[in-house]
Amino acid sequence: MNRLLAERAQGSAVTDRIVRHALTDRVLHWLMAASTLILLGTSFLPILGWQFPWVTAHWVSGFVLIAAVLFHAVRALFWKDIRSMLVGAADLRDVLALARLNLRLTDAPPPRPGKYSPAQKLIHHAFTVVVLVALATGAVMMAKIDTPWWDSNQYILSDATWGVIYVLHGLSALMLITMVMAHVYFALRPEKLLFTRSMILGWITRKEYRAYHDPDRWQVK
Q: How confident is the model at residue 14 (pLDDT cuts 50, 70, 90)?
A: low
Q: What pLDDT, in 10s, does the model give residues 148-177? A: 887 888 888 899 999 999 999 999 999 999
Assigned domain for 47 exists: yes
Q: Which of 4-13, 63-72, 152-161 has the lowest mean pLDDT?
A: 4-13
- The rounded radius of gyration (Å) of the Cα atoms in the chain is 22
- What is the residue range of 59's domain? 24-212
Assigned domain for 16 exists: no
Q: How confident is the model at residue 13 (pLDDT cuts 50, 70, 90)?
A: low
Q: How confident is the model at residue 17 (pLDDT cuts 50, 70, 90)?
A: very high
Assigned domain for 116 exists: yes
- Distance CA(10)–CA(116), nearest Å, equals 29
CATH code of the domain containing 175: 1.20.950.20
Q: What CA–CA distances, in Å, run from 143 to 59, 70, 147? A: 11, 20, 9
The percent of residues in the chain predicted with pLDDT above 70, rounded, is 94
